[in-house]
Amino acid sequence: MKGIDNGFRDYLVSSLGDCAYELTMVGFHEKLKKLKEEDKQRAHSFFKELAPEHWVNSYFRGMRYGEMTSNVVESFNNWIKKARNLPITRLVDTIRTQLMRQLLAWHDQANKWKETICPTFETLLLDTFNDNSSWQVSKASEDVFEVHSIPSVIVGIGRRTCSCFQWQINGFSCDHAIIAIQKSRYNLNDCMEHYFHVETYRVAYSVTIFSISSMEKPPFRSHRLYHISTNYEKTTRQVEEE
């Protein structure tokens, strides 16, 4: 990206994101072709050995559950910022205490939920249906529906598929599927992957991180560690000199 105007650079990065999030292979190759034409040789070199199954939604085999980045790592690093400069034993114990409190808080929170689907996704389901309730739906069989959106798509409720591919990749019902399910004999909650169920959330945070008593721990001696480190450095220098 060196030597590229900031505005054009931001546009290229945004276009790369569009390619990554594209759900269909046809759509991906159309957007990638356009990106390569705009950035010429630089883009061709960049994509030469970059396998699409490692970064493109439409080529990914499995479910991403809507996640495309590892930003949670940065969130964790920020969460333990105060502990990172502590001596190693105190650092580990501080992080353990933070995790112990956090897991218990999430566990207690989940026990208050009465819904089948986690509240965030329950709200998303309702909003999606309200926004797209004007779409017309045609029934082909007990399981298969055509949703007349732009473009129109085919929803297979029994197999949890939609020709837009969003349901297969994210695991969470797409807009088309939600509308089709509402017009079918199926229960919307039963069509959700268990990943989004309150029951699954509770199981994830059911593990207990136990507290550790410090009654029989030896007292921490920072000056002792300093002398050990100093003696180690002296010994190392002597070996190097010999």
At 53, the amino acid letter reads: E
Give the mean model confidence (pLDDT) for residues 93-113.
93
What is residue 221's predicted lDDT score, i.e. its pLDDT?
A: 57
Q: Which helix (H) or strand (E) holds 87?
A: none
Q: Which long-range contacts (CB under 8 A, 24 or more apart) does 103-112 make?
A: 103/205, 103/207, 103/208, 103/209, 104/208, 106/201, 106/205, 107/202, 107/205, 107/206, 110/198, 110/201, 110/202, 110/205, 111/202
- Specify which residues 155 forms β-bridges with: 145, 162
- The pLDDT tens digits for 145-188 are 999 988 899 999 988 999 988 888 888 888 899 989 988 888 88
Instruction: Locate 151 and state its tokens.
Output: 């473009």
What's the mean pLDDT when you consider all of the chain?
A: 83
Tell me which of 32 and 3 has the higher pLDDT: 32
